[in-house]
Structure 1
Amino acid sequence: MSTLITTPFGFASTAAEVVAGIDLTGRRAVVTGGSSGIGVETARALAGAGAAVTLAVRDTAAGKRVAEDIAASTDAGTGGRDVLVAPLDLADPGSVARFAASWSGPLHLLVNNAGVMASPEQYTAQGHELQFATNHLGHFALTTALHGALAAAGGARIVQVSSTGHMLSPVVLDDVDFRFRRYDPWLAYGQSKTANVLFAVEATRRWAADGITANAVMPGAIYTNLQRHTGGSGTVPPELIKTVEQGAATSVLVATSPLLDGVGGRYFADCNEAAVLDRRGAPLQGVARYALDPGAARRLWDLSERMVAEAAEAVEETVAGA
């Protein structure tokens, strides 16, 4: 890989700081999971810079409260009051399809932010492990369905919110749904976060000619609802904990910085490109080489396409039989 991309920002930078001076007027953005945690601050920073932001959320009532708060906290003169809310349940293929079908016109920024962490063993109606289905497969279905809108934007960017948790597990392509392996919530989470990075690699390879790039980010350790199944941030040293405003910074930087024009298939942490590792190092640092492997990325894409197609067929059969 070429020289790592560095920026003037770092660990303590906030979303507002990294987007300062950038004008997103006329740009349209979607932030999944935009009603809580770093999704709120990601959406706030994009709206504050002038983007028309859609919060794609399961709880639309919560989304509307956040939209009102963002509108009140941003300058109407920048277009920051243009914050919309739309229902999206990533674990429900029908919900994903409805969201994509309702979208019209170009889409400049897609921040695939929503996720679940270390949840108890659960499976979707299609039989897919919930973390893989939510964190990866739902976002895969959403993004591929919105490909036309992204291509129409010219220079569209996709942000995949991953995690250093990807180092807990590669994607086990022969058993992504734990049909044979003993279920472990952290292995399932790690696999789904590796899938987020691999998606960025393959989406960039496939869609660069359409002007679309995708990158993955590690937000940092932040106290949010994401930890509801884990009892908190675990063993992360207090000095490595970020605020939600700091946690959203890397997502916003990757979505907006001119330094990343035409750049894709990479992994960023603390607002800079992370070093590739062959073995775990310091806490919250680096990206595992297997998460950037182009061969694994292609295989995961092919598997994901099959899984999404099967789910779509099942939804169509259900509708036809109703």
Structure 2
Amino acid sequence: MVTGAGAGIGRETARSLARAGAEVTLAVRRIDDAQEIAREIRAETGNEAVDVRPLDLADLASVAAFSKEWAGPLDLLINNAGIMALPEPTRTEQGWEMQFAVNHLGHFALALGLHDALAEASGARIVSVSSSGHHVSPVVFDDIHYRQRAYDPWSAYGQSKTANVLFAVAATTRWATEGIVANAVMPGGIMTGLQRHVPAEVRAQWEQVPSNKTPQQGAATTLVAAVAPEFAGVGGRYLEDGGEAPIVEDDAETDGVHGVRHWALDPTAAERLWETSEESLRSTRDR
């Protein structure tokens, strides 16, 4: 199952999995657009087992309904959907900052809801699509949702992408004994609809970067984490360019693109994030 499979990296990930013979579910907000993509994938691959289901990660009722309706084992959960650099502070009905809510909390709730299906599979894997944007910020636990500090689009995006990695660490720690592991990936610099909120002058600069990848190339690292034998039973890692990335100390200068910050792999922070996320979900149920 691939979230955000209606465009960009998610669409190419779904296409590649279908080509390999997998049963694939496109979990998306825009059903009509995704149905057309599903038809294209079926025609191109000859695989009729390509399904589309509605999922809005900003809406916990949608996440709960999706999880409740899932039947049978789930081998691969690919948390691909995301939003980037919302220019103004935007909140869910719970008051959560939207980037953190969609990029992390929605996927967190989805993974919890699908836990039994993942455990039912033999050697399930979760892949969280993170970003080099995690270099910008750790998770700021004292004010995750910008209730006291001034909102900044990039630090908000950065901490949500750090959260994607920390989730992989904590999920593997908690669920590996049940045959479930999780890894995070950095797909590379890819121009997709994700950048629609980025200022035009910045997008123009990014489009000229020589190391940019196509969506197909960007999906490659996701697929390594999803199916490569070297990551069977291996979790809590951050991959880039098809392999495990080197760890970069938090105070070290980098190019801001390569490597994974230590703060994103910190098991203490991972456990704190898990507990904080669970409490956030509990607080909505208690209302």
> TM-score scaled by structure 2?
0.96
Secondary structure, counterpart of 1:118 in structure 2: coil
Give the distance between the partners of 1:152 and 1:144, measured in 2 at CA: 14
Q: Which amino acid is the alignment partner of residue 62 of structure 2?
A: S
Is 1:81 aligned to residue 48 of structure 2?
A: yes
- Share of identical aligned residues, percent? 56
The 5 Å alignment of 1:49-68 reads: 49-68=20-39
Displacement of 1:63 in angstroms is 1.0
In structure 1, what is the equivalent of residue 211 of structure 2? 240
What count of residue pairs does the alignment treat as equivalent?
281
Q: Which amino acid is the alignment partner of residue 196 of structure 1?
A: N
In structure 1, what is the equivalent of residue 142 of structure 2? 174
Q: CA offsets, 1:200-254, max 9 Å, x none?
A: 0000000000000000000001110000011327457621100010011000111
In structure 2, what is the equivalent of residue 97 of structure 1? 64
**Contact 1:167 / 1:280 at 8 angstroms: preserved in 2?**
no
Is 1:118 aligned to residue 85 of structure 2?
A: yes
Point out the more displaced range, 285-294 or 237-246: 237-246
Give the distance between the partners of 1:92 and 1:99, measured in 2 at CA: 11
In structure 2, what is the equivalent of residue 270 of structure 1? 241
Is 1:304 aligned to residue 268 of structure 2?
A: no
Displacement of 1:312 in angstroms is 2.9
CA RMSD after TM alignment = 1.1
Is 1:206 aligned to residue 174 of structure 2?
A: yes
Going from structure 1 to structure 2, the CA distance change for 1:35 and 1:251 (only over 3 Å counts) comes to same
Going from structure 1 to structure 2, the CA distance change for 1:236 and 1:175 (only over 3 Å counts) comes to farther
Give the distance between the partners of 1:50 and 1:220, measured in 2 at CA: 26
Going from structure 1 to structure 2, the CA distance change for 1:234 and 1:123 (only over 3 Å counts) comes to farther
Going from structure 1 to structure 2, the CA distance change for 1:176 and 1:246 (only over 3 Å counts) comes to same
Give the distance between the partners of 2:48 and 2:36, measured in 1 at CA: 13
Where structure 2 has 5 or more consecutive residues not aligned to the other structure, the ranges are: none
Give the distance between the partners of 2:253 and 2:23, measured in 1 at CA: 39
**Contact 2:135 / 2:256 at 8 angstroms: preserved in 1?**
no
Give the distance between the partners of 1:234 and 1:60, measured in 2 at CA: 32
Q: Which amino acid is the alignment partner of residue 285 of structure 1?
A: H
Higher relative contact order (CA 8 A, sep 6+): 1
